[in-house]
Amino acid sequence: MSETLHIDWTRCDGRGLCTELLPTLLDRDDWGYPLAKRATNGDRSNVAVRPAHSEAAREAVHLCPKMALSLANQVAGFGQ
Amino acid sequence: MDNALWAFGRVSGIISLVLFTGTVLVGVLARSGRPLLVVPRFSVTLIHRNIALLATAFLVLHVGSLLLDSYAKLNVTDVVVPFLGAFRPFWQGLGTVAFDLVLAVVVTSLLRHRIGPRTFRAVHWFTYAMWPIALAHAIGNGTNGTSRWFLLLAAGSAAVVVGALAWRVSANFLETAKTRQGGLL
């Protein structure tokens, strides 16, 4: 079962912790903000997380200084 | 035993203060969003948290050992209510204020994901009040508070914290500051 990492842009301040923890899933734009490396239907704020990256994603959610990340079970489009 | 509690109470207070100084410095660095040489950003955040918890552990030992020590004449009320102490109530009271602030900051940090970013941040700002209050308590109340070596330590700590604050409010504090400023022009 795949999970979805949601980036809440209204909270994010681009501090870069998540891009360090999930270098294969997230890119950092010029202003420091994270983006999904692969967009799904043009959406770069909901990132599919395979089980191999599940733990790192959980760390990212936990450590995000702005609490801008959340993990949901499958299907993109959900926040918390 | 009494001598041991007294000695431990004093030294644990000093250790706690030094660790809190480190916590403030690493906290400011974490806020900048910059890595520390080869230490990645998420590790800087974890170091900030772990030094803070270690400092708090020594603070609890500091208060606890002096509470049990008969010479310090500290009672349970003095631990939470400031300025009622038997010895130098004002300076001891500052310690109580700092202790209460530390408890508030630690509890809100541990419950960060439950209480939300606004409350967390509002309470976390009190560390900027806590640190100088704790330093004043150490100087005014500590047996070694006005010893030459301790004053040197205090002056050095104050210098690095003020330096960190000056950096904190400077225009290029954020790792991304230059890019973001450029975007507005």
Instruction: Indicate the pairing of strand A3-7 with strand A69-73.
Output: antiparallel
CA distance linking residue B175 with residue B177, whole number of Å: 6
C-alpha to C-alpha distance for A8 and B50, rounded to whole angstroms: 27
* B119 vs B78 pLDDT, higher one: B119
| B30 chain-A contacts, CB cut-off 8 A | 65
Average pLDDT of the segment spanning B40-56: 97
Q: One-letter amino acid identity for B167?
A: W
In chain A, what residues touch B174 (CB-CB under 8 Å)?
32
Residue B179 is nearest to which of A16, A30, A65, comparing CB atoms?
Answer: A30
Min Cα–Cα distance to chain A from B172, Å: 14
Position A55 in a domain: yes
Q: Where are the domains of chain B?
A: 2-184
Gap between the terminal Cα atoms of chain A = 18
**pLDDT at residue A56, as a whole number:** 94
Q: Does position A65 have pLDDT exceeding 70, yes or no? A: yes
Highest mean pLDDT among A70-79, B11-20, B82-91, B174-183: B11-20
Q: Answer yes or no: do A32 and B175 touch at CB < 8 A.
A: yes
In a domain? residue A64: yes
Span B23-36, average pLDDT: 95
A70: left (phi over 0), alpha (psi -120 to 50) or beta: beta
- What pLDDT digit, counting tens, does each position of B129-153 carry? 999 999 999 999 988 888 999 999 9
Per-chain mean pLDDT for chain B: 92
**Phi, psi (rounded to 5 degrees) for A59:** -60, -45
Residue B177: what pLDDT?
Answer: 84
Taking only the tens place, the pLDDT of each residue in B89-130 is 899 999 999 999 999 999 999 999 999 999 999 999 999 999
Does residue B78 have a pLDDT over 90? no
Task: Tell me the CATH number at A51.
Answer: 3.30.70.20
Residue A75 pLDDT class (50, 70, 90 cuts): low
Structure tokens, A76? 């993109």
| A78 inside domain | no
- Tell me whether residue B76 is exposed, middle or buried, using C-beta atoms within 10 angstroms of its C-beta: 0 to 12, 13 to 18, 19 or more: exposed
Q: What single DSSP character describes residue B32? A: H
Supply the range of the domain harboring residue A30.
3-73
Whether residue A79 lies inside any domain: the answer is no
Number of structural domains in chain A: 1
| Position A80 in a domain | no
Confidence at residue B3, expressed as pLDDT on a 0 to 100 scale:
87
Packed helices B89-110 and B127-141: angle between N→C axes, nearest 10 degrees: 150
ipTM of the complex: 0.85
Put the strands of the sheet holding A3-7 in their side by side order.
A46-49, A3-7, A69-73
Tell me the pLDDT tens digit for each residue of A4-59: 999 999 999 999 999 999 999 999 998 899 999 888 777 888 888 888 999 999 99
Share of chain B above pLDDT 90, in %: 72
pTM for the model stands at: 0.90
Question: What's the pLDDT band for A79 if we cut at 50, 70, 90?
Answer: very low
Query: Which chain A residue shows the shortest CA-CA distance from B184?
Result: A31
Q: Do A16 and B112 touch (CB under 8 A)?
A: no
With bands split at pLDDT 50, 70 and 90, how would you rate the model's confidence at A76? very low
Which residues in chain A touch residue B112, judged by CB atoms under 8 angstroms apart?
67
Is B7 a residue whose pLDDT tops 60? yes
Nearest CA in chain A to B180: A31
Whether the Cβ atoms of residue A5 and residue A38 lie closer than 8 Å to each other? no
> How high is the pLDDT of residue A78?
47
pLDDT score of A1 = 64
Cα distance from B58 to chain A (closest Cα, Å)? 25
